[in-house]
Amino acid sequence: MEVKPIRKPDATKVRANLPDDSAERHRLGWDVARSWLDGLTGGGLNIGYEAVDRHVVHGHGNREAIRWIGKNGTVRSFSYANLKEATDRFASLLEKLGHTKGVHVFTLLGRTPELYITALGTLKAGGMFCPLYSAFGPEPVRARMEIGAANVLVTTAADYAKKVQPWRAEIPSLRHVILVDLPPPDISETLDFAKACADVSGDFKIVRTKPDDMALLHFTSGTTGKPKGAMHVHEAVVAHNATGRLVLDLQPDDVFWCTADPGWVTGTSYGIIAPLTNGVTMIVDEAEFDAERWYATLAREKVSVWYTAPTAIRLLMKAGDDLARRHDLSRLRFMASVGEPLNAEAVIWSARVFGKPFHDNWWQTETGGIMIANTAAMDVKPGSMGKPLPGVEAAIVDTSCDHIVPIEAPMKVGHLALKAGWPSMFRGYLHEDARYAACFRDGWYLTGDLAMRDEDGYFWFVGRADDVIKSAGHLIGPFEVESALMEHPAVAEAAVIGLPDERAGEIVKAYVTLKQGQEPSEALRKELLGHARKRLGAAIAPRQIEIRTDLPRTRSGKIMRRLLKARELGLPEGDLSTLEQAA
């Protein structure tokens, strides 16, 4: 399939925050981005202040900050003034309990208002906030709380009783557990969130934090060992605010929906900080994915900017075009995707069904914020992750020598590297200094991804360095093969791995799931093999294809290729704490 660029919108109809103009992109560096924030009076920088209080100070306290939708349809609305009082109360509670600057506050919650209040209140109090995904079992919760030396946990009575209470005494750092619902009679060593917050002041003087003070801790799963805790500082808010403005094109009257759970970095960076620092109204839906509910929410809440994940987009594709067309989505003006590369087929589908494409972008837990993106004013090349943002220096490099060597030739595969020093760059892996140092060389952060850059400056994802398949002298990126398979009308999703082969070194094996109405058969499997060979050539196409009902993925939606390979070869499966299901 020939993929043509999707042209940028007519400039007379749409004025983007970031024009696709080289001079303007060059002007908008991090110093300009810092000027968009207030900072604390007398010096300092605090994410909580920039996200909430400064809007009240500037007379926008009545503007709606959060519109929360419960699983049962209940709606609660928080203005910026409401949010200021609620977060001040939580910060005051931490102070009353004797917790000072640097306190480590963890949450184990679904997408409830208390999660957002805890996050922002902790930051105001000068603490470090760490969200845990609510579906984690006892062992992942315990491992992360031990590594992070948790002082305070905010959770539900059920999760506390099942996942924490049995071993609470074995984490001496954990001083207080605060429950957002009423505890059963046999739980006495906890506090009631609502009552405790009602008994303290709703006017808190924000702790004076410096840009380099610790603010956020996000865990990433390890391939073989324990999870890594990536540390971020208050200066990260400079990047969160700027990328919300420049990449997601947030404007004051927008209604914004980031579907990611704050248990993952996207749900914190772009489900809390970026929208609130930009002063927009953000939607929070407590319920999990359901195609009908999502479309109804987009229409009913008049969402104008939507940020979601490739897995969700592919599930919407699987649900069919007619479902989308039954809803009025005319308020949608910008849609973006993140989490893993977005296949060209999904971009083309969205342009056809919604009248506009999803704009893919690239970043990692370690980068803290978006680094490379298809912005609103750019032509979109389906399958590309876009161009580096103002202030971000990205390069394709060769790491095989003592010093990294830039690769200037277009469409040559190399390691994706970023010049160190952007505001949201992680400042370490907690308790793992050597592991952190190994990520940098010659002043560059080595992302672990392989990519290419074309003659127009667009970057193209090839695969994780440890996922790339070496077959008969060819370097094969799983994403390229998966994208080709997804072009077949029967295929919903695909995952590709390399298997050892005596002659070729490795051969390509693909796993696919089918769209609704498609039935697995040997004839279809052979048809897919033929489709792949015609599309990719015999050297790159998979030698084997297995049709499955599902694929193993993380709870944030990423397909776990390493798990497919480990199970295929009988290897250790590594850290499975983020596994969504035993596929």
Amino acid letter, 424 = S
In a domain, 367, yes or no: no
Q: Count of domains in the chain?
A: 2
Query: In the structure, what pLDDT confidence band is assigned to residue 25 with cuts at 50, 70 and 90?
Result: confident
Q: What CATH number should be reported for the domain holding residue 554?
A: 3.30.300.30
- pLDDT of res. 223: 47
Query: In the structure, what pLDDT confidence band is assigned to residue 224 with cuts at 50, 70 and 90?
Result: very low
Of residues 425, 324, 323, the one with CA closest to residue 365: 425
Domain span at residue 482 reads: 468-569
The last residue of a domain, from among 198, 216, 234: 234
Residue-wise pLDDT for 382-405, tens only, equals: 999 999 999 999 999 999 888 999
**More confident of the two residues 135 and 367:** 367
- List the alpha helices (DSSP H) in 429-560: 433-437, 478-486, 522-536
Range scoring the smallest mean pLDDT among 42-56, 141-155, 279-293, 545-559: 545-559
Transcribe 254-296 into DSSP letters.
-EEEE-S-TTSHHHHIIIIIHHHHTT-EEEEE-S---HHHHHH
Residue-wise pLDDT for 452-508, tens only, equals: 999 999 999 988 887 778 776 666 778 788 888 988 999 999 988 889 887 777 889
- pLDDT of res. 46: 98
Q: What CATH number should be reported for the domain holding residue 205?
A: 3.40.50.12780
In a domain, 454, yes or no: no
In a domain, 290, yes or no: no
**More confident of the two residues 204 and 143:** 204
Interior CA angle at 434 toward 428 and 439, to 5°? 65
HEC states along 82-135?
Answer: HHHHHHHHHHHHHHHCCCCCCCEEEEEECCCHHHHHHHHHHHHCCCEEEEEECC
**More confident of the two residues 26 and 217:** 217
Q: What percent of the chain has pLDDT over 70?
A: 94
| Cα 309 from chain centroid (whole Å) | 8
In a domain, 553, yes or no: yes
Average pLDDT for the chain: 91
In a domain, 426, yes or no: no
The last residue of a domain, from among 182, 208, 234: 234
The last residue of a domain, from among 201, 234, 267: 234
Residue whose pair of structure tokens reads 């190399």 in the numeric block: 414
Query: In the structure, what pLDDT confidence band is assigned to residue 210 with cuts at 50, 70 and 90?
Result: very high
In a domain, 158, yes or no: yes
Residue-wise pLDDT for 503-551, tens only, equals: 777 889 999 999 988 999 999 999 999 999 888 878 788 999 999 998 8
- Quote the tokens at residue 445: 């952060």
Q: What percent of the chain has pLDDT over 90?
A: 72
Using left for φ > 0, alpha for ψ between -120 and 50, and beta otherwise, residue 282 falls in: beta
In a domain, 134, yes or no: yes
Residue-wise pLDDT for 67-126, tens only, equals: 999 999 999 999 999 999 999 999 999 999 999 999 999 999 999 999 999 999 999 999
In a domain, 165, yes or no: yes
Q: What is the pTM of this model?
A: 0.86
Residue-wise pLDDT for 541-583, tens only, equals: 899 999 999 888 876 667 888 788 888 888 766 666 656 653 3
**More confident of the two residues 352 and 223:** 352
